[in-house]
């Protein structure tokens, strides 16, 4: 470093740089290094934060050091899996300086789990989370109707899958009606289309079972069928859903949440329909067995009828009544004799009671020449004290009544 002095011998210091100048200069140096502008970096995520703006902020670290990183919303929206602390990843980024803080950091535009594809990792994450919530539980699975009148199909109207489903369904069960809801099966709008089909059939209640699916392809091609919102729409469907996506080796989230998983779209059509040829054979077999059973029963009844017709009861039906008739006569005689005895006993008791009653009847003495005297109120007169000289009284005799008036009243001498 060279020093300058003025005419008086004082050292002349160079003009100082501002902090902003330094940060800008460092930023320029870093950004001119092309290696740092297109770089893949591996490390473990820590201090992860998803800002309300949609940006990702985190630290990428290894055993010896760490570096701050940011991923802005337009890039963050494209991440298929859930970013979380402790996850080992590989990021593609550029290195630059955050001038306000005077720190350098990674500006990330893509991020994938280390050692595994991003889509596969996202698939495993979603599968584990939905399984934990119970969306795959067998207890929630709805039974597939055995004889559906209408079958809803959600798939591409131009793909091979719809032709396979139609061919299999019409061959196996031609009396059912197929209702197609045309939908995209890959791309950005596919999920909304597929969910729209589920909701349409549930709102209209126009089918008995739904087949959702498409032909085979890569994990990217099948990715719409690994969407969480579509999985929840299938889970909440009131109509049973059969998932037939890809080939036999392909498994999607839809397969796990659906009421029934089919290996292919053709297999889905087979599971949704009975085989009309087999049904016809079963009906014919049932018809033959029924006719044989009826004929066997008829022969059994004929044999029993022949046996009965040769019995003495049918030859002489009156003989069946002889024993009951004798029993009835015996019971009738016993009942009549018992009734007569009861009547005689009751008559004897009645006569005895009547005699006792007559003996106590005060009117019975009238037949022997006595009379009973009553005043106007019908009250018995027992003493001359009860007779009013001015009032009439009644005398009851054995054969009638006499109205009398007292002329004089004589009282007995109590002294004798």
Q: Are 276 and 172 a contacting pair, CB within 8 Å?
A: yes
Tell me the CA distances in angstroms from 331 to 222, 320, 334, 337, 339, one per residue in order.
Answer: 93, 18, 5, 10, 12
- What's the confidence (pLDDT) of residue 415? 55
Q: Would you state the structure tokens that stand for residue 187, as one six-digit string? A: 């791309």
Pick the CATH number of 19-115 from 2.30.30.100, 2.40.50.140, 3.40.50.1380, 3.30.70.920: 2.40.50.140
Q: CA quadruple 13, 14, 18, 20: dihedral positive or negative?
A: negative
Distance in angstroms (rounded) separating the CA atoms of residues 154 and 182: 6
Is 228 within 8 Å of 201 (Cβ atoms)? no
Residue with tokens 């006499």: 402
- How many Å apart are CA 121 and CA 223, to the nearest integer? 12
User: What pLDDT, in 10s, does the model give residues 321-346?
Assistant: 777 888 888 888 888 888 888 888 88
Span between the terminal Cα atoms of the chain, in Å: 184
- pLDDT, position 234: 97
pLDDT at 269: 95
pTM above 0.85, yes or no: no
- 137-274, CATH topology level: Rossmann fold (3.40.50)
CA distances from 62 to 34, 58, 94, 256 (A): 23, 13, 18, 37
pLDDT at 371: 79
Residue 410 Cα to chain centre, angstroms: 109
Domains 19-115 and 137-274 are alike in CATH topology: no
Displacement of CA 224 from its chain's centroid (Å) = 30
The 10 Å CB-count burial string (b at 16+, else e) for 112-128 is bbeeeebbebbbebbbe
Instruction: Write down the pLDDT at residue 152.
Output: 97
pLDDT of residue 197: 96
Question: Is the distance from CB of 202 to CB of 237 less than 8 angstroms?
Answer: yes
Helices first, then strands: H and E counts in the chain: 11, 15
DSSP annotation of 354 reads: H
Domain residues of the chain, as ranges? 19-115, 137-274, 364-404
Retrieve residue 73's tokens.
């919303």
Give the residue ranges of the chain where pLDDT is below 70: 1-13, 115-116, 312-317, 319, 359-369, 413-416
């Amino acid at each position: 470093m060279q020093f300058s002095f003025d005419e008086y011998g004082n050292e002349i210091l160079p003009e100082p740089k501002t902090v902003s100048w330094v940060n800008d200069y460092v930023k320029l140096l870093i950004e001119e290094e092309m290696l740092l502008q297109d770089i893949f970096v591996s490390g473990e995520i820590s201090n992860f934060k998803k800002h309300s703006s949609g940006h990702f902020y985190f630290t990428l670290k290894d055993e010896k050091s760490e570096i701050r990183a940011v991923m802005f919303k337009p890039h963050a929206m494209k991440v298929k899996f859930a970013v979380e602390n402790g996850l080992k990843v590989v990021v593609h980024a550029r290195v630059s300086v955050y001038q306000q803080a005077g720190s350098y950091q990674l500006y990330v535009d893509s991020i994938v789990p280390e050692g595994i594809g991003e889509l596969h990792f996202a698939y495993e994450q979603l599968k584990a989370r939905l399984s934990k919530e119970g969306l795959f539980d067998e207890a929630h699975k709805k039974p597939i109707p055995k004889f559906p009148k209408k079958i809803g199909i959600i798939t591409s109207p131009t793909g091979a899958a719809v032709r396979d489903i139609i061919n299999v369904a019409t061959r196996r069960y031609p009396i059912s009606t197929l209702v197609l809801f045309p939908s995209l099966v890959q791309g950005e709008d596919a999920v909304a289309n597929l969910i729209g089909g589920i909701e349409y059939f549930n709102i209209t209640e126009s089918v008995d079972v739904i087949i959702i699916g498409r032909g085979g392809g890569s994990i990217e091609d099948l990715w719409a069928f690994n969407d969480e919102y579509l999985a929840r729409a299938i889970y909440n469907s009131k109509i049973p859903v059969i998932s037939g996506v890809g080939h036999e080796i392909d498994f999607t989230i839809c397969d796990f949440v659906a009421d029934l998983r089919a290996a292919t779209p053709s297999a889905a059509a087979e599971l949704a329909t009975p085989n009309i040829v087999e049904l016809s054979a079963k009906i014919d077999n049932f018809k033959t067995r029924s006719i044989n059973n009826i004929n066997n029963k008829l022969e059994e009844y004929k044999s029993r009828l022949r046996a009965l017709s040769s019995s003495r009861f049918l030859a002489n039906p009156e003989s069946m009544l002889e024993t009951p008739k004798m029993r009835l006569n015996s019971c009738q005689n016993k009942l009549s004799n018992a009734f007569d005895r009861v009547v005689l006993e009751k008559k004897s008791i009645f006569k005895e009671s009547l005699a006792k009653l007559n003996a106590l009847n005060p009117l019975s003495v009238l037949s022997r020449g006595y009379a009973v005297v009553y005043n106007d109120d019908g009250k018995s007169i027992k003493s001359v004290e009860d007779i009013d000289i001015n009032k009439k009284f009644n005398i009851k005799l054995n054969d009638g009544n006499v109205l009398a008036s007292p002329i004089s009243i004589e009282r007995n001498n109590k002294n004798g």
